Structure 1
Amino acid sequence: MAGGIEIRAAHFPGRAPIDAYGNGGFRFADMSHRGSILCLPSGIHGWEVSGFGELEEADLARLFDEASEFDILLVGTGEQLIPMPVELRKRFREAGVAVETMATGAAVRTYNVLLAEDRTVAAALIAVD
């Protein structure tokens, strides 16, 4: 067996409210994560995105792969609201998902409320300082 540290993709296997955000990350389930996150029915995953304007198709693959598992997607675009491009919004609608974009703080608060109501919600949250 080779020694050393095994680096795995950040993943919390469950749904959990977001306890705090800021300083470049999030706190949830008595843990913290530095960077952006995807909150999906399959769990909370680290998301290698630092700005909404730099999103690429590959950054959204997990969202589309799991789109049948949620009805609402909240997108936290960072410090300020940045509208989602029309074509991308259309693709989510075709997948049966309603999308709401808002600043990350508002997205976190809305996600927590919908999660508490046991709604089928997902969130893509870009970390803020």
Structure 2
Amino acid sequence: MADPASAPFLPRQVPIEGYSERFFHFAGMSHAGSILALPSGIRPWSVETFAQLTTSALAPILAEAKALDLLFIGTGRDPAHLPDLQKQALRAAGLRFELMPTPSATATYNVLLGEGRRVAAALIAY
């Protein structure tokens, strides 16, 4: 049986309708904190700061890598560079990825999702 904490709270992928300090808005709902927008749905993500973006934090994304062409990582307020270990994990799974501040990552994810592209987003709230 799947861990209920890892289950999506919205079992489909939808655009992010808005974001504000610490909140994301989608499908008429709001969530305080970081989120993953994956092909399997939108779920909370325990990463609160970019420094917490470990290889284990990428596990839900890596599990769906075959369903993705591109991953957007929203780094919070500021741009950041992914450590080599995390880069290697994503590349080994065959994922292309882009890092940018969360507002830009959210907007770009929405555009490409609207085009029907196989995208996902890991968005750190700030």
1:55, 1:36 → 2: CA distance? 11
Q: Determine the structure 2 residue equivalent to 1:4.
A: none
Q: CA deviation at 1:23?
A: 2.0
1:78, 1:18 → 2: CA distance? 15
Provide the secondary structure at the position in 1 that maps to 2:79: coil
- The TM-score normalised by the length of structure 1 is 0.88
- The TM-score normalised by the length of structure 2 is 0.90
Percent of paired sites with the same residue: 46
Q: Which amino acid aligns with 2:76?
A: G
**Structure ranking higher in strand proportion:** 1
1:76, 1:62 → 2: CA distance? 16
Note if contact 2:50-2:76 (Cα within 8 Å) is conserved in structure 1: yes
Paired residues in the alignment total: 121
Unaligned 5+ residue runs, structure 1? 1-7
Unaligned 5+ residue runs, structure 2? none
Q: Which runs of 4+ in 1 moved over 6 A?
A: none
Q: Determine the structure 2 residue equivalent to 1:27.
A: 25
Q: CA deviation at 1:93?
A: 1.7
Residue by residue, what CA displacement relative to the aligned partner does 1:31-50 show, whole Å, maximum 9, x if unpaired? 00010000000000100111
Q: CA RMSD, aligned part only?
A: 1.3
Residue by residue, what CA displacement relative to the aligned partner does 1:95-121 show, whole Å, maximum 9, x if unpaired? 111010000000000000000010000
1:45, 1:115 → 2: CA distance? 17
* Greater gyration radius: 1
Task: Indicate how the Cα distance of structure 1 residues 39 and 77 shifts in structure 2: closer, same or farther if over 3 A, else same.
Answer: same
